[in-house]
Amino acid sequence: RLLKGLARAQTRHPPATTGRPVIREQVVHFINKKMPGGLPKKTARALLDIENSAYVPVIRNPTGTTTETEAVFYFPGCGSERLFSQVGLATQAMLWHVGVQTVLPPGYLCCGYPQRGAGQFDRAEKITTDNRVLFHRVANTLNYLDIRTVVVSCGTCYDQLQSYKFEEIFPGSRIIDIHEYLMEKGVRLEDVTGVRYMYHDPCHSPMKRHDPLQVVNTLMNEARNGRIEKNERCCGESG
């Protein structure tokens, strides 16, 4: 009760977040910060019933695609598939929306970045090698599909996947963030009224082919919905 009384002024009128806060402000913020909640109960694969690692899932619209339709390889990673499964589902939904075939890895896979970041370099190297071997098998199995694009929805995964040499797995392929890909496909939001947004460009930014702020403002249709400004600060997640 005493702590709540001391914290009330700070929580009602939060101080500026630039510079180093005093110890009291740090303590109040730590105690007042709620633990993450409302996370999805099931993974993206569980919701789609494609958890069997013996199969290579191909997500496509049977009435709007053929074997000649553009195909992409989507690597969701742990965050977009297990923890925040709504991200993985949204990515697949948008790929469906733009009319491409989406190939997923067989089973749950980690990119290996967490192990590398923790100093477990041998473990990270083994994960990378095992994944590359698996992806070569996927490419051979689906050689009737001309996969030229590897889509990611996680900047941390992007950093690790750059060492996978996907251009040797799917010849001539590139890695691209889902937002950049959607921008290239001409996706634009219409009539976003009554809401203003700010964009946080993460330290592990997945947007490496286009300027991130340009991508966001293009997708959000700046001319019709107003400009989105960029937040330069670190979120503190550390990956």
> Would you give per-residue pLDDT tens digits along the chain (239 residues)?
555 666 666 667 766 666 777 787 777 777 777 766 777 888 999 999 999 999 999 999 999 999 899 999 999 999 999 988 999 999 999 999 999 999 999 999 999 999 999 999 999 999 999 999 999 999 999 999 999 999 999 999 999 999 999 999 999 999 999 999 999 999 998 877 777 788 888 888 888 889 888 998 899 888 777 788 888 777 776 65
pLDDT confidence of residue 17:
66
pLDDT confidence of residue 163:
94
Q: Rounded to an integer, what distance in angstroms lies between the CA atom of residue 115 and that of residue 128?
A: 11
Closest CA to 78 of 87, 70, 91, 69: 87
pLDDT confidence of residue 222:
80
User: Are residues 75 and 109 in contact, defined by beta-carbon separation less than 8 angstroms?
Assistant: yes
- Three-state DSSP at 225 gives helix
Q: How buried is residue 234: exposed, middle or buried, by Cβ count under 10 Å (0-12/13-18/19+)? A: exposed
Q: Rounded to an integer, what distance in angstroms lies between the CA atom of residue 173 and that of residue 142?
A: 15
For residue 236, give every residue at least 6 positions away whose Cβ sits within 8 Å of its Cβ, in sequence order, or none: none
pLDDT confidence of residue 6:
60
Region(s) of the chain under CATH 3.40.50: 44-186
Q: Which CATH number fits domain 44-186: 3.10.20, 3.40.50, 2.60.40, 1.10.3210?
A: 3.40.50
* Token code pair at residue 98: 């733009």
Task: Please give the model's pTM, rounded to 2 decimal places.
Answer: 0.83
pLDDT confidence of residue 10:
66
